[in-house]
Structure formats: structure tokens, C-alpha cells
Amino acid sequence: MLTKLSALPILIFVMLTEPLLAIAQQAQAPATPQPPQGSYWPGPMHMWSDGYGWGHWWMGPVMMGLFVLFVLFCFAIMSLMMGGRMMHGHRGDRALDLLKERFARGEINQAEYEERRRLLEV
């Protein structure tokens, strides 16, 4: 029952719009002169080199290239702002902080601390 009722609004819509479509199809065309056969002006390809080919085909690849350059530029700026540690985060700082903590607690001596710090800062 519910399935039959759900089709009712569609049926009403079709019954109301079909006569309007029939009237619109019977309307008289304006009495303007038609262009000669074979002339595309101002036809469907009007904006593409007067309808005779693909005059601006190169704009798509150029725009894609400019977008790629823009994205690379943004990544370069972000990398510079982060001090060159964009991919690695602050792992070097974290390791150095842990090394300082271990030295402060006395777990490693000064010679070992200096050697490991030198290796981390390279």
C-alpha cells in the first residue's frame, strides 16, 4: 500500500506537466532569419576559436603546471618556517632533551653525553 502511495506524487507531477510541455512544443518559432547551413557562428563552439578547432587547448596543461608550482612553493615556505624539520617533526629536539635528562640524573657521564650530543646535532 505504501509503495503505491509513494508513486502518487510522481504521477500527479507528470499529469500536470505533460500538457504544458505539449503547449511549449507547439509554440511558433520567432521569425528571425536562420544562418546558412555550415555556419557555426554563434554556435556551440563559439568560444573555441570560432568553432574551427581547439584554439586554447594549451590552457589546461598550463593551469595544471601552475597549480603544481604553487603547491611546491607552499611546501617550501612551510618547510622554511618549520626550520627544515617538516618531515621529521621535533625528533632531534626530543632526543636531545632525553639525553640532557639522563645526564642530569647521572645515568651517563660527561664524555658519553658529549659524544651522543655531537652525534645528534649532525
Per-residue pLDDT of 64-115, as tens digits, reads 999 999 999 999 998 888 775 555 555 557 888 889 999 999 999 999 999 9
- Cβ neighbours for 63, distance < 8 A, ≥ 6 positions apart: none
| Nearest C-alpha neighbor of 112 from the set 96, 99, 98 | 99
Segment (H or E) for 67: helix 59-81
| % pLDDT > 70, the chain | 65
Q: How many CA atoms lie within 13 A of 17 on its CB side?
A: 6
**Residue 55 binned pLDDT confidence (cut-offs 50, 70, 90):** low
Q: Where are the domains of the chain?
A: 59-87, 90-122
DSSP conformational letter for 43:
S
Residue with cell 557562428: 41
User: Contact 53/47 with Cβ under 8 angstroms?
Assistant: no
* Mean pLDDT of the region 10-32: 76
Give the CA-trace dihedral at 16, 17, 21, 22, to 10 degrees.
-20
Q: What is the pLDDT of residue 120?
A: 83
Give residue 40's pLDDT. Answer: 54
The owner of cell 632525553 is 98
